[in-house]
């Protein structure tokens, strides 16, 4: 008994790091991912018709957050770099999109191609900022990197207040967005249009990320995370790999921030505080580091938790002052507590638990049949 | 010139607080190899306890003592209940758990006390005394210098001269050997957390009246400044933390005095990046033989 157990490969390790055995699947990775994205897109369109406008808006918010959490998953989960500054990168994207859209509106320009152009500019802007931070980050380790990105997260909202000529201080900027095109019909709900925009952008970003993860670059990311010295011995340029990971992650965070700005139709420094950066990290850790599905769970949590606590506080009969205090802070407290418990009890997060459950079921199933 | 003197003294007074806070970070780093990102939030929690006690009894000093005691207890509690159970295999894990603590503590404070700013009273006047027409020290500055001086020299004495200090250093330096020699390593770790958290609470009590006042997020920027101070000194060196704290305090005072207070966060970031890129081990790091 003990001899056979010793001969078995260590399965636990797979469950904890979240890496799947690569050779299980055949066929083109790109085609498979394209198929998944296409299916998800069709499902999204179907859902957008099936649910009420408010749910559409919430789904769109999930999609925007998913952009940022997916990027952070690639950075922290696959490359092992901890960033507390992704809220600031989201702010960069959001402000870029706001400035672009305002510039277009001031010149009286209209057209369906303007928004993709602004989103592209937001990505370019965050890529530049991400490259600057990433070069610094590639030289830093663990707590030092966390400290620098923490400083970035604290400083960037302050910058928006300092240069209030451009960013309009605490008030922030409004983001003019055009209504849905007339070809969709005169009564097309605006929220559905928002879901389509954010959904399309996010699915595109996810497709690129998913392919990147399974490419040569994805392998070098993981190699650097697992053992820098070994990676260097294997001929991997460690610093370059870390900068690439940071830039990719920054680009998606910027897109996520830009999408949030488009959804809210405004940006202000208060929306991109340190708490948002911490929230993003919480979300990817609770969702499960190392896989994009974990990022999805995290994004869903980010939107669902405040909503759930709101409903919960409404059920209790509380004085308005107490209810107001609870509403802002209860989700934070739950998030913090969940994070601590998850880190101590189940470091794989939600996705880790699910896949462990799935594996356990799969392992039992053929045994029953035989 | 008057302005320069004033800014210098103001900077040193602020810097003394950063130094104490940085010292607290260094204490935990040396004992447990963890940068306690929750230290700001823990210190704010202790300050809120002090506020409650002071408001109930009308005595500032009772609140002051209670803050330090609350800080000590909170530090020990965090170590025993949370940090001890974290897997330290990856340096990310304790950092993430500390951030969870930040969210939890700030949210609980917000729920209990509300998210608005509360004025924090100073026990002494904050108007500067003038010497020969030049405004120099305020009584409060003197109080800050004296308190921090007592704490820093007390800690130095404890680590260098007392058996407990020796055991703490041994436990941090070589846990396995210390355990074999009969040192209660876990107890020393808890003591380290308690001391650091107590010093952090003291620093929070000293900085609150000069900065914005009492607020769940009041220490966010102070934490970043103190982290910078600790990094400037090298996370491993207590004297480095003190010098780093004073340097950061001076820099922030000059920047806010000559360029505008809005720019101080940016100045901290620039300093932090500059130090980390030029001398990642800090200014006081000994040259370590390269391990291959």
pLDDT in tens, A24-54: 556 788 888 888 889 999 998 888 888 888 8
pLDDT in tens, A77-127: 888 888 888 999 999 999 999 999 999 888 888 777 888 999 999 999 999
Three-state DSSP at A266 gives strand
CA A57 from centre of chain: 17
> Are the beta carbons of B230 and A146 closer than 8 angstroms?
no
Q: Please list, in sequence order, all residues whose beta carbon lies within 8 angstroms of the beta carbon of residue A281, skipping any fewer than 6 positions away.
A: A72, A76, A82, A83, A84, A86, B96, B99
Within 10 angstroms of residue A171's Cβ, the number of other Cβ atoms is 14
Helices A320-345, A274-287: axis angle to 10 degrees equals 50
Would an 8 Å CB–CB cutoff place A116 in contact with chain B?
Answer: no
∠ CA B77-B81-B86, nearest 5°, is 125
> Are the beta carbons of B174 and B183 closer than 8 angstroms?
no
DSSP for A182-206?
A: GGG-TT--HHHHHHHHHHHHHHHHH
- When pLDDT is averaged across residues A320-342 and rounded to a whole number, the result is 84
- Both tokens of A183, joined, read 């070809």
pLDDT in tens, B255-286: 988 888 778 888 888 888 888 888 777 776 66
Helix (H) or strand (E) holding A134: helix A114-137
Q: What is the pLDDT of residue A162?
A: 80
Of the ranges A167-171, B45-49, B124-128, the best mean pLDDT one: B45-49
Closest CA–CA distance from residue B130 to any residue of chain A (Å) = 33
> Are the beta carbons of A151 and B226 closer than 8 angstroms?
no
CA dihedral B266, B269, B275, B277 (to 10 degrees): -110
Most B CBs within 10 A among A151, A222, A270, A283, hence the mutation to make, goes to A151
pLDDT in tens, B186-212: 899 999 999 999 999 999 999 888 776
Q: What is the pLDDT of residue B149?
A: 92
CA torsion through residues A240, A241, A242, A244, sign: positive
- In the structure, what pLDDT confidence band is assigned to residue A357 with cuts at 50, 70 and 90? confident
Share of residues in chain B with pLDDT > 90 (%): 40
Would an 8 Å CB–CB cutoff place A39 in contact with chain B?
Answer: no
Q: What is the pLDDT of residue B81?
A: 92
Between chains, do B96 and A82 touch, taking CB under 8 Å as contact?
yes
Pairwise pLDDT comparison (A360 vs A112), residue with the higher score: A360
Give dist(CA A254, CA A87) in Å, integer: 9
Between chains, do A158 and B262 touch, taking CB under 8 Å as contact?
yes
Between chains, do A278 and B103 touch, taking CB under 8 Å as contact?
yes
Q: Which residue of A has its CA nearest to B291?
A: A229
Q: Which of residues 213-252 of A touch B (CB under 8 A)?
A: none
Most B CBs within 10 A among A343, A345, A348, A349, hence the mutation to make, goes to A343
Find chain A residues with C-beta within 8 A of B277's C-beta.
136, 139
CA dihedral A169, A171, A173, A179 (to 10 degrees): 180
Find chain B residues with C-beta within 8 A of A285's C-beta.
96
Q: Please list, in sequence order, all residues whose beta carbon lies within 8 angstroms of the beta carbon of residue B227, skipping any fewer than 6 positions away.
A: A147, A150, A151, B22, B25, B35, B272
Closest CA–CA distance from residue B243 to any residue of chain A (Å) = 19
Q: Which of residues 302-331 of A touch B (CB under 8 A)?
A: 325-326, 328-331
> Are the beta carbons of A138 and A239 closer than 8 angstroms?
yes
Between chains, do A275 and B103 touch, taking CB under 8 Å as contact?
yes
Q: Which residue of A has its CA nearest to B91?
A: A142
Give dist(CA A298, CA A283) in Å, integer: 4
pLDDT in tens, A234-282: 999 998 999 999 999 999 999 999 999 999 998 988 888 888 898 898 8
For chain B, report the end-to-end CA distance as a whole number of angstroms. Answer: 52
Helix (H) or strand (E) holding B252: helix B238-258
Closest CA–CA distance from residue B101 to any residue of chain A (Å) = 6
Average pLDDT of every residue of chain A: 84
A74 DSSP 8-state letter = I
A78 DSSP 8-state letter = I
Give dist(CA B127, CA B134) in Å, integer: 13
Within 10 angstroms of residue A111's Cβ, the number of other Cβ atoms is 10
Closest CA–CA distance from residue B111 to any residue of chain A (Å) = 5
Give dist(CA A355, CA A350) in Å, integer: 9
Share of residues in chain A with pLDDT > 70 (%): 91
> Are the beta carbons of B99 and B209 closer than 8 angstroms?
no
pLDDT in tens, B87-132: 877 778 888 899 999 999 999 999 888 888 888 777 887 777 777 7
Q: What is the pLDDT of residue B190?
A: 93
Would an 8 Å CB–CB cutoff place A162 in contact with chain B?
Answer: yes
Question: What is the pairing mode between strands A266-267 and A173-174?
Answer: antiparallel
The answer, yes or no, to whether residue A13 has pLDDT greater than 50, is: no
Contacts across the A-B interface (CB distance below 8 Å): 143
**Rounded to a whole number, what is the largest CA-CA distance in chain B?**
63
pLDDT in tens, B205-251: 998 887 768 888 888 888 999 999 998 888 888 888 999 999 999 99
**Rounded to a whole number, what is the largest CA-CA distance in chain A?**
78
Pairwise pLDDT comparison (B292 vs B71), residue with the higher score: B71
Find chain B residues with C-beta within 8 A of A340's C-beta.
82, 97, 100-101, 104
pLDDT in tens, B141-182: 889 999 999 999 999 899 888 999 888 888 888 888 988 988
Find chain A residues with C-beta within 8 A of B266's C-beta.
155, 158-159, 162
Q: What is the pLDDT of residue B288?
A: 55
DSSP for A6-33?
A: HHS--HHHHHHH-PPPGGG--S-HHHHH
- Both tokens of A263, joined, read 């959804």
Q: What is the pLDDT of residue A4?
A: 40
> Are the beta carbons of B261 and B50 closer than 8 angstroms?
no
Most B CBs within 10 A among A147, A160, A163, A321, hence the mutation to make, goes to A147
Find chain B residues with C-beta within 8 A of A80's C-beta.
90, 92
For chain A, the C-alpha Rg in angstroms (whole number) is 22
The answer, yes or no, to whether residue A22 has pLDDT greater than 60, is: no
**What was the ipTM of the complex prediction?**
0.84
Residue whose token pair is 């130094």: B19
The answer, yes or no, to whether residue B136 has pLDDT greater than 50, is: yes
Find chain A residues with C-beta within 8 A of B220's C-beta.
154, 274
pTM for this prediction: 0.84
- Both tokens of A301, joined, read 């949590």
- In the structure, what pLDDT confidence band is assigned to residue A144 with cuts at 50, 70 and 90? confident
Which of A151, A158, A343 has its CB closest to that of B93?
A: A343
Give dist(CA A212, CA A80) in Å, integer: 16
């Amino acid at each position: 008994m003990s001899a056979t157990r010793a001969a078995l490969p260590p399965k636990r390790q797979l469950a904890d790091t979240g890496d799947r055995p690569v050779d299980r699947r055949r066929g083109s990775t790109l085609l498979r991912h394209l198929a998944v994205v296409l299916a998800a897109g069709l499902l999204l369109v179907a859902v957008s018709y099936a649910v009420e406008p408010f749910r559409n808006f919430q789904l769109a918010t999930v999609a925007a957050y998913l952009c940022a959490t997916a990027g952070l998953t690639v950075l922290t989960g696959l490359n092992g770099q901890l960033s507390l500054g992704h809220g600031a990168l989201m702010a960069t994207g959001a402000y870029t999109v706001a400035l672009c859209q305002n510039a277009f509106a001031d010149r009286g320009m209209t057209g369906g191609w303007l928004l993709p152009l602004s989103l592209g500019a937001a990505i370019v802007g965050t890529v530049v900022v991400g490259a600057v931070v990433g070069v610094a980050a590639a030289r830093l380790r663990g707590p030092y990197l966390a400290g620098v990105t923490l400083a970035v997260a604290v400083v960037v909202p302050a910058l928006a207040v300092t240069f209030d000529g451009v960013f309009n201080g605490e008030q922030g900027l409004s983001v003019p967005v055009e209504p849905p095109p007339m070809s969709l019909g005169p009564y097309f709900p605006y929220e559905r249009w928002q879901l389509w925009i954010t959904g399309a952008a996010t699915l595109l970003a996810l497709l690129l990320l998913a392919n990147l993860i399974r490419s040569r670059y994805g392998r070098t990311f993981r190699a650097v995370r697992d053992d820098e010295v070994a990676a260097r011995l294997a001929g991997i340029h460690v610093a370059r790999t870390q900068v690439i990971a940071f830039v990719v992650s920054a680009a998606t965070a910027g897109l996520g921030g830009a999408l949030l700005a488009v959804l809210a139709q405004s940006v202000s420094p208060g929306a991109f505080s340190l708490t948002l950066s911490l929230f993003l990290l919480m979300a990817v850790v609770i969702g499960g580091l190392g896989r994009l599905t974990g990022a999805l769970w995290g994004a869903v949590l980010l939107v669902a938790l405040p909503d759930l606590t709101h409903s919960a506080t409404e059920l209790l009969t509380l004085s308005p002052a107490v209810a107001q205090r609870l509403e802002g802070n209860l989700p934070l407290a739950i998030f913090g507590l969940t994070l601590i418990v998850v880190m101590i009890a189940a470091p794989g997060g939600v996705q880790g638990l699910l896949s462990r459950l799935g594996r356990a079921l799969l392992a039992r199933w053929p045994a029953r049949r035989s | 010139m008057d302005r320069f003197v004033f800014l210098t003294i103001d900077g040193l007074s602020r810097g003394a607080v950063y130094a104490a806070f940085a010292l607290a970070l260094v204490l935990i780093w040396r004992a447990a190899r963890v940068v306690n990102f929750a230290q700001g939030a823990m210190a704010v929690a202790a300050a809120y306890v002090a506020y409650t006690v002071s408001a109930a009894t009308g005595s500032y000093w009772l609140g002051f003592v209670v803050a330090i005691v609350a800080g000590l207890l909170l530090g020990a509690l965090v170590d025993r209940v949370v940090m001890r159970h974290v897997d330290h295999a990856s340096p990310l894990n304790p950092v993430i758990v500390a951030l969870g603590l930040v969210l939890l503590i700030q949210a609980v404070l917000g729920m209990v006390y509300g998210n608005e700013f509360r004025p924090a009273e100073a026990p002494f006047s904050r108007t500067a005394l003038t010497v020969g027409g030049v405004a120099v020290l305020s009584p409060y500055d003197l109080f800050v210098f004296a308190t921090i001086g007592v704490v820093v020299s007390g800690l130095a004495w404890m680590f260098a001269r007392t058996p407990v200090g020796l055991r703490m250093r041994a436990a941090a330096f070589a846990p396995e050997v210390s355990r074999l020699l009969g040192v209660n390593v876990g107890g020393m770790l808890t003591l380290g957390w308690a001391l650091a958290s107590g010093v952090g609470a003291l620093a929070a009590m000293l900085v609150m009246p000069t900065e914005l006042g009492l607020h769940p997020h009041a220490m966010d920027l102070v934490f970043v400044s103190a982290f910078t101070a600790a990094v400037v000194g090298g996370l491993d060196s207590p004297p480095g933390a003190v010098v780093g704290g004073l340097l950061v305090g001076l820099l922030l005072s000059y920047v806010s005095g000559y360029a505008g207070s809005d720019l101080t966060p940016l100045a901290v970031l620039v300093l932090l990046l500059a130090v980390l890129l030029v001398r990642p081990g800090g200014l006081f790091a000994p040259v370590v033989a390269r391990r291959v």
